[in-house]
Chain A
């Protein structure tokens, strides 16, 4: 079946602009994660959605970052007023159960 998809695959933007990154999880997966992978760094947890529960936003680095998940499926990560330090690969993962994650290919964001 289809895996996790993310769009766009690459995004170049100017400092101060807003960007939206999209994640389409595997159908039926109740949990969805967003991570940030910076050069030379591990994966940094950003936010977690589980079913209809309130999301765990504890990893969001600032109030410029927000995410939503509509209808328990597609998720959008929004970064407002982008800064150069936001440049990274943003990864989405969906999960049918605890202990299992399926990752998307990521969106490479470059802020000029």
Chain B
């Protein structure tokens, strides 16, 4: 069946450091891929998405590229800020209606 695996946290970085959060997936079809973010005390928000192979989703300085050959959708940001502290979830939707989410990666950015 379909599934998403993302790197376990927590991740702690200093401000302006480079961020990578790994995400790999298993899918039977051609899924759309997503990163959601959950800031402290808030609901999940869509951060970025990519709907086909080699697409790059980007938003707020974050990027992720849909790599079909490695079944990956790693999240990257060149210079993190304290305000990026949150929990990040990788997700996919495949041929059906069900979204599959990873377990989430907690990021803390320290000044």
A45/B89 in contact, CB under 8 A = no
Say yes or no: is B62 at the interface (Cβ < 8 Å to chain A).
Answer: no
A99-B93 contact given A104-B43, A105-B42, A106-B43, CB 8 Å threshold: yes
Residues on A with beta carbons closer than 8 Å to the beta carbon of B45:
103
Query: A59 to B100, alpha carbons, bound, how many Å?
Result: 11
Contact B101 A42, beta carbon cutoff 8 Å: yes
Question: Is chain B's binding surface mostly helix, strand, loop or mixed?
Answer: strand
Asked if residues A42 and B43 are in contact (CB atoms below 8 Å), the reply is: no
The reply to whether the CB of B44 lies closer than 8 angstroms to some CB of chain A is yes
Number of interface residues of B (CB under 8 A): 22
- Please indicate which of the listed interface residues A33, A40, A99 has the most CB atoms of chain B within 10 Å of its own CB: A99
B43 touches A50 (CB 8 A): no
> CB of B98 within 8 A of chain A?
yes
Contact A48 B97 (CB under 8 A): yes
Given contacts A98-B93, A104-B43, contact A41 B103 (CB under 8 A): yes
Instruction: Tell me, yes or no, whether B20 is within 8 Å of chain A by CB.
Output: no
Per-residue 0/1 for B71-111: is the Cβ within 8 Å of any A Cβ (1 yes, 0 no)? 00000000000000000010101001111111110000000
Distance A102 CA – B34 CA, assembled complex (angstroms): 13
Instruction: Determine the chain A residues whose CB is within 8 A of the CB of B101 once the complex forms.
Output: 35, 42-43
A101 partner residues in chain B, CB cutoff 8 A: 46, 99
Given contacts A42-B89, A106-B43, contact A99 B32 (CB under 8 A): yes
Is the pair A58, B49 in contact by a Cβ cutoff of 8 Å?
A: no
If A48-B97, A50-B97, A56-B98 touch, whether A100 touches B46 (CB-CB below 8 Å) is: yes
Q: CA of A106 to CA of B36 in the docked complex: distance in angstroms?
A: 15
Assuming the contacts A42-B89, A42-B103, A42-B104, asked whether A48 and B43 have C-beta atoms less than 8 A apart, the reply is no
7 nearest A-B pairs in the assembled complex, by CB-CB distance? A43-B101, A42-B103, A103-B44, A42-B101, A103-B43, A105-B43, A45-B98
